[in-house]
Amino acid sequence: MTTSSQPYIKFAGPIITPEMAAEVNETLLSGWITSGPQVAAFEKALSVYHAGRPARVFTSATAAMEVAFQICGIGPGDEVITSAMTFFSVGNMIEKVGAKTVFVDCDLHTRNIDIAQVKAAITPRTKAIVPTHFAGLPCDMDALLDIARTHRLRIIEDAALAIGSSWHGQKIGASGDIATFSFHPNKNMTTIEGGAAIFADEAEAKRAQVLRFHGITKLADGTRDVDVAGGKFNMSDVSARLGLRQLEMLDAWNVHRRELASVYFKLLTPIARDSSMHIVLPASAHTGEEDGHSWNMFCVLLDFDALGFSRKAFIDAMHAKGVGIGISYEAMHLSTLFRAKGHQPGEFPNAERIARQTVTLPLHAGMTDIDVAHVVSRMMSAFGDLFPR
């Protein structure tokens, strides 16, 4: 049980100030709560943040990705390459538009897509590549964009975890093809629920606006028409108003997240060097990219077979000690959906090891250095309680 001297440390937690709540309340009372002036303002702010590229907001990053696939003309007969180590939404949306999901493995430390395997997986039917910037660490976008240019492929970046991350000094989304972001409460900024896509092409951004609202276009005489089957993915002004203020705080929050991550490394690196502890830490950054990681998550690998206790036992022990723990992520190709399509264990060893061994430690802008120290201390205490005697 937790005590007052050991406050519960949440796995994730958005920061919503009284001022933000007051502005949301003001929007609620304005009489205009669905998509309107706040959505337009939020999209403009996102565009400015991403070097002037057009932005469109949605009810979720999943919706943004589905629309991105539609814009790219991806459908039956097409293949889309993605990592087996990503959230379920990526594979779900590829399958939903009728394309085939082609999995490749990831790097064990960065958890990002294996570039060499991407090259090997390309066929005449390949239409796009979907890299996930795992935990906010950018993939090698130079290599991926070079592959895309060579083979005339689209790149749809799953940047759900990477708002504010950068590659060679450019924000993810400020270059490349299409990038999709999540504003779920466990991300670095929130709109409660919501997402966005950043486009390289204004015409595609305008098309996304049509596709997110039933496929409707307005005609000169004031009537409406539909020339494509669209969805209903428009963000509310209430969410957008919160997003505007969250975006203003994002860079400062990301700086703080990097500081918290550095404390985790300081405390855990000596422990990880002890081979008996069976701990693998995440990659801190790509060479020369130390400030580009937005640190949405801090995921460590624990070899539970070698340690002699289960992940469930560890998570339960940490919860009892007042620490929330997550699992990020399962290996997508081993989900029931993709097992039914013929996938099986052994195909992607790194993704499968990560899926077996990963535990995600608390990391959010509301934490302090002392909180991180408490997490590590309680982690070692849990180890002591669980090690076989």
Q: Which two tokens stand for residue 343?
A: 């996938």
Strands (E), the chain: 55-58, 79-83, 100-104, 126-130, 154-158, 166-167, 170-171, 178-182, 195-199, 216-218, 224-226, 279-280, 298-302, 358-361
Q: Give the SS3 label for residue 194.
A: coil
Query: Between vectors from CA 196 to CA 214 and to CA 190, what angle results, nearest 5°?
Result: 120
Q: Which two tokens stand for residue 124?
A: 């005449």
| Residues in contact with 374: Cβ distance below 8 Å, sequence separation at least 6, in sequence order | 6, 9, 322, 323
Bridge partners, 197 (sequence order): 56, 180
List 44, 100, 119, 187, catalytic entry: 187
Distance CA 355, CA 329 (A): 6
Amino acid found at 14: P
Query: Between vectors from CA 88 to CA 248 and to CA 338, what angle results, nearest 5°?
Result: 165
Asked whether 195 and 246 are in contact (CB, 8 A), the reply is: no
Distance CA 218, CA 43 (A): 21
Q: Which two tokens stand for residue 212?
A: 């997110």
Asked whether 298 and 186 are in contact (CB, 8 A), the reply is: no
Q: Which one, of 95, 114, 90, lies nearest residue 104 by Cα?
A: 114
Please confirm, yes or no, whether 44 is among the known catalytic residues. no
Distance CA 226, CA 237 (A): 24
Distance CA 179, CA 168 (A): 16
Instruction: Enumerate long-range contacts of 43-46, CB under 8 Å, 24 or more apart.
Output: 43/196, 45/244, 45/247, 46/196, 46/198, 46/247
The radius of gyration of the chain from alpha carbons, rounded to an integer in Å, stands at 21
The catalytic residues are 187
